Amino acid sequence: MATKPNRTPIPSCLVIGGCGFLGSAIVKSLLEKHPSCRITAADIRLVNQLADPKINYVTVDITDLASITSVVENAKPEVVIHTASPVHGLGKEIYMKVNVEGTRNVIKACQEVGVKVIVYTSSAGVVYDGSPLINTDETEPFPIVPYDAYNDSKAIAEVLALEANGEKGMLTTALRPAGIFGPGDRQVVPGFITVAKNGQTRWQLGNNTNMFDFTYIDNLAIAHILAASTLLHQHASTGATDPSVDQRSHLDGTSLFITNGQPVYFWDFAKAIWCHYGVYNAGSIVMPRGIGLIIAGLAEGFSKLMGREPGLTRFRVTYSCAHRYFDIRKAKDLLEYEPEVSLSEGLRRTIEWFKAEEAKAKA
């Protein structure tokens, strides 16, 4: 049995990737939950800055050791939350450079400056190889053949972050979110909205018996803050890792799946988005997965010849027919993590935000 987590207020925190979707939500939650925290938000591009004098925005490129070291030295944070990563769908080289070498640089800089706690944002995809993930927990090993370069690089970076646990007095943990969505989302919900705009919502790939996990952004931001303040408390009380504590109840040196804890049928999630968006004809034509893969293969070949982006890809077919949901009991035990915003309320807030943004753009 895990012991009840104790927490310590976070006096200073550097959020790397602090202008990104997740990073800026963490900054916002820190302002709310730890109002006296000195916050530095560092990112390679300073966009979406919150107008609050308590936040110090700085430019950083984590692939450059001197750049990240100087940011950590100036910020002198007790806690570093590292969310930076390129988006999914790019080449292997960029993932190895930013996620692997960049994370190595972040760890080195933190060790040099004496940071106490690192919370690394990993991904639920680190255990995915295309096989079904059904209520998967943290005992699931990394796959022998990773699904793609992005997930491979996230797994390598997670291992680097966790191996640094206990070194030079620093405690580390890794959170593995699945399908983050919310206002400001650039990946999950925009994909479904594009399908609606292209008039393709009638098509459903597969028979919709596959369950999927998604995570509302604010729940995930709070999970990061819970992890940071719990580790900070542990640091203050034991100085580092405590080998006398049952290994299963260690937050340091371990990874936790974080989701909304409400797995849903993949196409039910899509249909809910489209209904909120005002499209009600979804899913009336079911295309079996096998046929979808053949058509996607042809579409990819044709698009390559024409120099265009294919609308349907084998990745999208496989993904939308996959079983992918996770057991989050470990996060509930070790962090007392409880998703505050339900999936349906999260979707409502998200689509309202997208509609408002579209209205602003038209005005």
Ligand X SMILES: NC(=O)c1ccc[n+]([C@@H]2O[C@H](COP(=O)([O-])OP(=O)(O)OC[C@H]3O[C@@H](n4cnc5c(N)ncnc54)[C@H](O)[C@@H]3O)[C@@H](O)[C@H]2O)c1
Q: Which range binds ligand X by CB under 6 A, 17-25, 32-40, 162-170, 226-234?
A: 17-25
Q: Which stretch binds ligand X (CB under 6 A): 21-29, 229-237, 323-331, 334-342?
A: 21-29
Q: Which of residues 186-205 bind ligand X (CB under 6 A)?
A: 186-188
- 3-class DSSP assignment, residue 26: helix
337 part of the active site: no
**Nearer Cβ to ligand X (187/237):** 187
Q: First CA to last CA across the chain, in angstroms?
A: 56
User: Does residue number 180 form part of the binding site for ligand X (CB under 6 A)?
Assistant: yes
Is residue 20 a contact residue for ligand X (CB under 6 A)? yes
17 near ligand X, rule: CB under 6 A: yes
Is there binding between residue 90 and ligand X (CB under 6 A)? no
Number of alpha carbons in the 13 Å side-chain half-sphere of residue 342: 4
Residue 48 in contact with residue 24, Cβ under 8 Å?
Answer: yes
Give the nearest distance from C-beta 284 to ligand X in angstroms. Answer: 28
Contact of 103 with 82, CB cutoff 8 Å: yes
Q: Which 8-state DSSP code applies to residue 80?
A: E
> Is residue 225 a contact residue for ligand X (CB under 6 A)?
no
Contacts of 252 (CB under 8 A, 6+ apart): 165, 166, 171, 172, 173, 231, 234, 240, 241
Name the token pair of 175: 């959170």
Only one of the segments 57-65, 134-142, 262-270, 328-336 lies at the binding site for ligand X (rule: CB under 6 A); that segment is 57-65
Pick the piece of the chain touching ligand X (CB under 6 A) from 38-46, 166-174, 193-201, 240-248.
38-46
- Please identify which of the residues 95, 120, 150, 216 carries the catalytic annotation: 150
148 near ligand X (CB under 6 A): no
Determine if 103 is a binding residue for ligand X (CB under 6 A).
Answer: no
Helix or strand run (H / E) with residue 264: strand 264-265
Residue 131 interacts with ligand X (CB under 6 A)? no
Contact call for residue 102 and ligand X (CB under 6 A): yes
Which of 85, 230, 255, 259 touches ligand X by CB under 6 A? Answer: 85
Residues touching ligand X, count (CB under 6 A): 29
Residue 349 has which token pair?
């807030």
SS3 label, residue 42? strand
CA-CA distance, 40 to 56, in Å (whole number)? 5
Q: Give whichever of 108 and 233 is closer to ligand X, judged by the CB atom.
A: 108
39 binds ligand X (CB under 6 A): no
Q: 25: phi > 0 → left, psi -120 to 50 → alpha, else beta; which?
A: alpha
Query: Nearer Cβ to ligand X, position 63 or 241?
Result: 63
User: How would DSSP label each residue in 174-201?
Assistant: EEEE-SEESTT-SSHHHHHHHHHHTT-T
351 binds ligand X (CB under 6 A): no
Residue 56, Cβ neighbours under 10 Å: how many? Answer: 14
Q: Which residues bind ligand X (CB under 6 A)?
A: 17, 19-23, 43-45, 60-63, 83-87, 98, 102, 121, 123, 154, 177, 179-180, 186-188
Give catalytic residues, as residue numbers: 150
